[in-house]
Structure 1
Amino acid sequence: MKAKINSSYIEGKIRAPPSKSLGIRLIFLSLLTKVNLYASQELSDDLLVAKNAVNTLKNGGNYVYLGGSATTLRMLIPIALALGKKIKIDGDETLRRRPLNAIIKALKSAKFSSNSLPLIIEGKLEEETVIEGWESSQYISGLIYAYHIIGGGKIRIIPPISSKSYIEMTIDLFNRIGSDVKFEGNEILVNPRPLRGYEGEIPGDYALASFYALASLLTGGKIEIFGLYDPPDYFGDHNIVEIFSNMGAKSYYSSSWIVESTDEYSPIKINVNDVPDLAISIATLSSVANGCSEIQGIERLRIKESDRISTIISTLGAFGVSAKYTNDNITIKGIKKEKILKGSIICPSDHRIAMMAGVLSLIHGGEVDNAECVKKSNPLFWQDLIKLGGKISLE
């Protein structure tokens, strides 16, 4: 599918897409307690994959296909071992490229038929796991679930720890429903307690909602995004509200996220190692900032749905914005909105890159081929932009 986008003015009120990260965690939680989820809109591919994977585990199946969901894959591996499952796992080409070195090295009592998908896993989980923290926080979240299943355990993380905010998200979820999980230094102690059930909607996703905010900021509009969870204390995706404010936008949370464009945006210097999913959103606003922005701590972006270091730079280039990579940093030289070009990209099966190109195209027009890849996280992305005033045709 190709999205053809004309210069537009984005304003209005819109519901945030269901959180991919929280949604997957809530779906896996149904292995431990009663969970009744309902969604006000169509579920993304990743949430459907997680739901199917959990149903397979509950029904005694021995094969799961995970599409492109790395979160589901990485959390599933220790959970399946805790349940005593021998299971074959496969996924699409993007998932087959994802490394599994850290979890294979950590789970010494498990057998892996391969170091990448497709693979068969079997074995058991030891009471303590030592795991390198640089490759993915999602393994550690999966281990927290796994230790709830087997009655407790300890996780020792070898620094550096990447995407720490998502570990905090998992711990916060468990502790809010009655468990006892402590994260001190580089150790996590899981001491399971009886869990309360969960009933309600999947909360909104700040990182995905940021593209609606960007659409308004780039086109001179004002937008209200509702359905988001109240921002917690730890540094995470919800801090995009503050980050956009620090860059000169009118951006604040008060039961909803209110965003209003301003005449000028400021460059930023920020490390995204704990919040890698925000890198694309920050890069997008940096494209029209008055000066050079520096996004640090980006090495893990190479192992996302695409090599996001390369695809961020090439996508910005398609719209006339200069960016370069040096020493774990992307530097972006912002230009005035009037100088943004009409751009065109063929999306490399990376949902966030498609969204980035989509909102940049709202300034002076553009095209996004393979635009359907947004279904991975937000199948209503293009339709929502149209509701907000986007002049977009889908062919």
Structure 2
Amino acid sequence: MIKTVSGAGSLKGSLQLPPDKSISQRAAIFSLLYDGKSRIRNYSQAQDPQSTLRCVQQLGAIVKEDSGDLIIEGKGRDGLVEPKQDLDCGNSGTAMRLLSGVLVGAGISAKLIGDASLCGRTMTRIIEPLEAMGAHILARNSAYAPLFINRVEPLRPMEFELPVPSAQLKSCILLAGLFGEEVTRVIETLPSRDHTERLLNLHQQWENGKKIISASIADEIPEQSYTIPGDFSAAAFWLVAGAIQNNAEMLIENVGLNPTRSALLDILGDMGADLIIENERMEGAEPVGDIKVKGSDLKAVEIDPKMIPNCIDELPILAVAMLFAEGTSVISGAEELRHKETDRIMAMSKMLKAVGANFEEQEDGLIIHGDPEFTFQSAEFESFHDHRIAMASAVLSLKGKGESKIKDAESAAVSYPTFWEDLEKMMN
């Protein structure tokens, strides 16, 4: 699908965001492990969480709807069943990596498959530690899905220091560890998303500046009954759109404000964006609030590489903000972007090149020479079937004088099924 987006004079109104994709998927998996019923409100209808939901059903969970809520009856750690068919994770790296940990921990044999994009992403980071825990995993070229998982030895505990700040890798090891008699410990030197620790109420301690998270069979799996907050990564597109657009004034409601997810707020704040957080509250274990954003005069910023794990998904839209900021902005230490749904550094470069931006591509990021007065007539954008590139291109299109086109725009539905409708709403 090719989507046409016209330049916008202003953006005004309020929005309810789609439910958080990362939390939704964890809610489904953790409900499977809970022995009893969980009531999840506002579960995501996006493709990735729906793929995860189908997988947990194949592993024994009973899923029903009740007045718009999702009721998931879990079987507990000792009640999981071997799936009769392949577990299709679709485009979801979260599903494939977290479920791999569950399968190894439970000692269940299964084949994990996914779409072409997911099968192009390396799984070596989870394969090596899971095999050290007693699993035997067959993978295409020893690195890529499909994954054939079979635990051939008794589960061994691990003390595993994360080689990179990855919430998916961390969660994979901890979920396997939850089935072990002895404690598995994951050591985190740089922070990554902490939804798993929060939602499972896992023990955490800090030693010499490092966080150590523990998991074993002794940990009680809590009931997963709460309201999923709005996806902060979805909010990011509107926060930037509002900040770079003259006369914009928007209210983004029910936004998840987990501090391991929301570095973009600090970065935009450093750039001079007019952002106000209101109605702060807790939904279960997660902080939530409403965010007002207005058009602002932005200045350049250099993102500290230590902050990259906390804003990795927001970097494509941050590149758009940087284009309209005064001065030269730098993204570095983001080599991980080359291993996402597509090579996102390459894709961001193509997006900027399409409008004639002044920038340089680096191996681990971008150097963007911004200009608040930067203008372009129109452009044709390649999304590379990547939802975040498609939506970042749409926000950039709003600054064009004419009509721009985004190819494969349907990819936005991976995380934000109503993005195009919400965009039209904000422009009217």
Query: Structure 2-normalised TM-score?
Result: 0.83
Equivalent in 304, 308, 326 of residue 273 of structure 1: 308
Partner residue of 1:214?
Answer: 240
Equivalent in 250, 261, 280 of residue 295 of structure 2: 261
- Alpha-carbon offset, residue 249 of structure 1: 1.1
Spell out, residue by residue over 1:138-191, the C-alpha distance to the aligned partner (whole angstroms, 9 max, x if none).
02112222323445622344x875xx321x23212222xxx4344642643225
User: Is 1:138 matched with 2:205?
Assistant: no
In the aligned structure 1, how far is the partner of 2:313 from the partner of 2:382?
21
In the aligned structure 1, how far is the partner of 2:160 from the partner of 2:261?
27
Partner residue of 2:251?
Answer: 224
Give the match's secondary structure for 1:237: coil
User: 2:42 is aligned with what amino acid?
Assistant: A
In the aligned structure 2, how far is the partner of 1:336 from the partner of 1:299?
28
Partner residue of 1:25?
Answer: 26
In the aligned structure 2, how far is the partner of 1:27 from the partner of 1:146?
16
In the aligned structure 2, how far is the partner of 1:11 from the partner of 1:245?
20
User: Is 1:82 matched with 2:105?
Assistant: yes
- Alpha-carbon offset, residue 250 of structure 1: 0.4
User: 1:142 is aligned with what amino acid?
Assistant: C
In the aligned structure 2, how far is the partner of 1:142 from the partner of 1:35?
22
- Alpha-carbon offset, residue 295 of structure 1: 1.0
Partner residue of 1:35?
Answer: 38
Spell out, residue by residue over 1:20-70, the C-alpha distance to the aligned partner (whole angstroms, 9 max, x if none).
111111111102324211327x61101101111111112531411111111
Equivalent in 214, 223, 226 of residue 197 of structure 1: 223
User: 2:7 is aligned with what amino acid?
Assistant: S
Spell out, residue by residue over 1:343-373, the C-alpha distance to the aligned partner (whole angstroms, 9 max, x if none).
2112101000001100111112311010000
User: Is 1:172 matched with 2:212?
Assistant: no
Partner residue of 2:82?
Answer: 60
Give the match's secondary structure for 2:150: strand
| Identity between Structure 1 and Structure 2 (%) | 26
Give the match's secondary structure for 1:117: strand
4+ residue segments displaced more than 4 Å: none
State the superposition RMSD in angstroms: 2.2
Give the gaps of 5 or more residues in structure 2: 61-80, 280-289
Partner residue of 1:393?
Answer: none
In the aligned structure 2, how far is the partner of 1:118 from the partner of 1:193?
31
User: Is 1:4 matched with 2:7?
Assistant: no
Compare relative contact order (CA 8 Å, sep 6+) and give the higher one, 1 or 2: 1
Q: Measured at CA, do residues 181 and 80 of structure 1 come closer, stay the same or move farther in structure 2, by a change above 3 Å?
A: farther
In the aligned structure 2, how far is the partner of 1:295 from the partner of 1:119?
34
- Alpha-carbon offset, residue 326 of structure 1: 2.9
- Alpha-carbon offset, residue 291 of structure 1: 0.8
User: 1:60 is aligned with what amino acid?
Assistant: E
In the aligned structure 2, how far is the partner of 1:210 from the partner of 1:345?
20
Q: Measured at CA, do residues 372 and 290 of structure 1 come closer, stay the same or move farther in structure 2, by a change above 3 Å?
A: same
Spell out, residue by residue over 1:96-149, the C-alpha distance to the aligned partner (whole angstroms, 9 max, x if none).
111111222212211112221112111053122536522843021122223234
Give the gaps of 5 or more residues in structure 1: 391-395
User: 2:195 is aligned with what amino acid?
Assistant: M
Partner residue of 1:317?
Answer: 353
User: Is 1:304 matched with 2:340?
Assistant: yes
Paired residues in the alignment total 378
Q: Measured at CA, do residues 30 and 370 of structure 1 come closer, stay the same or move farther in structure 2, by a change above 3 Å?
A: same
Equivalent in 377, 391, 395 of residue 415 of structure 2: 377
In the aligned structure 1, how far is the partner of 2:394 from the partner of 2:233?
15
Give the match's secondary structure for 2:255: coil
Partner residue of 2:285?
Answer: none
In the aligned structure 1, how far is the partner of 2:240 from the partner of 2:419?
13
In the aligned structure 1, how far is the partner of 2:265 from the partner of 2:175?
30
